[in-house]
């Protein structure tokens, strides 16, 4: 089984354990590396751009993802993991349009999409006990 690689977003935080550090791109991994092989990253669009520039940025960032998948081979990539709002990187919102597009791209390429809602899910995913 060759589907072992993970794609994450520049600025994502997914935890401090070994595997999750491999898909964390906030500088922490540099202190603890080298981490697991096959950790790929792409740049998210900049949500603070105006509407027209944001649309172009989303298009470019989707192309970056498509190019990466094609270069690495979709058969080698298990999943893409994202934070829908990046917490540790300073509450950076990932635009909905981009999330919808990467959902399509990952589905077309048989790659799982994991949305890490450890921070954004608070109050929506059940009671806090």
Ligand X SMILES: Cc1ncc(COP(=O)(O)O)c(C=O)c1O
Cα(104)–Cα(126) distance, rounded to whole angstroms? 28
Work out whether 83 is an interface residue with ligand X (CB under 6 A). Answer: yes
H or E stretch covering 97: helix 96-108
Taking CB under 6 A as the criterion, the residue among 14, 61, 92, 101 binding ligand X is 14
**Residue 92 interacts with ligand X (CB under 6 A): yes or no:** no
**Based on CB atoms, which residue is closest to ligand X, 17 or 52?**
17
66 vs 85 by CB, closer to ligand X: 85
Under the binding rule (CB under 6 A), the answer on residue 6 touching ligand X is no
Q: Considering only residues 13, 65, 77, 101, which one is a binding residue for ligand X as defined by CB under 6 A?
A: 13
Chosen residue from 87, 97, 113, 115 binding ligand X by CB under 6 A? 87
Residue of the chain from 112, 118, 122, 125 that contacts ligand X (CB under 6 A): 118
Query: Which residue reads 């690689």 in tokens?
Result: 5
Between β-strands 77-83 and 112-116, what pairing exists: parallel, antiparallel or unpaired?
Answer: parallel
Q: Does 57 bind ligand X (CB under 6 A)?
A: no
Residue 107 buriedness (CB in 10 A; 0-12 / 13-18 / 19+): exposed
Q: Which stretch binds ligand X (CB under 6 A): 12-20, 28-36, 49-57, 74-82?
A: 12-20
Instruction: For 40, list phi and psi in degrees, rounded to 5.
Output: -110, 150
Q: How, if at all, do strands 85-86 and 112-116 pair?
A: unpaired
């Amino acid at each position: 089984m060759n589907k072992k690689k993970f794609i994450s977003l520049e600025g994502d935080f997914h935890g401090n354990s070994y595997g999750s550090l491999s898909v964390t791109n906030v500088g922490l991994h540099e202190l603890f590396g080298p981490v697991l092989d096959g950790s790929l990253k792409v740049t998210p669009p900049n949500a603070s751009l105006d509407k027209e520039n944001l649309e172009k940025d989303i298009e470019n960032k989707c192309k970056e993802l498509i190019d990466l998948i094609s270069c690495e081979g979709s058969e080698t990539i298990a999943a893409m993991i994202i934070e829908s709002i990046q917490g540790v990187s300073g509450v950076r919102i990932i635009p909905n349009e981009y999330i919808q597009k990467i959902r399509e791209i990952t589905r077309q390429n048989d790659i799982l999409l994991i949305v890490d809602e450890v921070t954004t899910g608070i109050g929506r995913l059940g009671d806090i006990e």
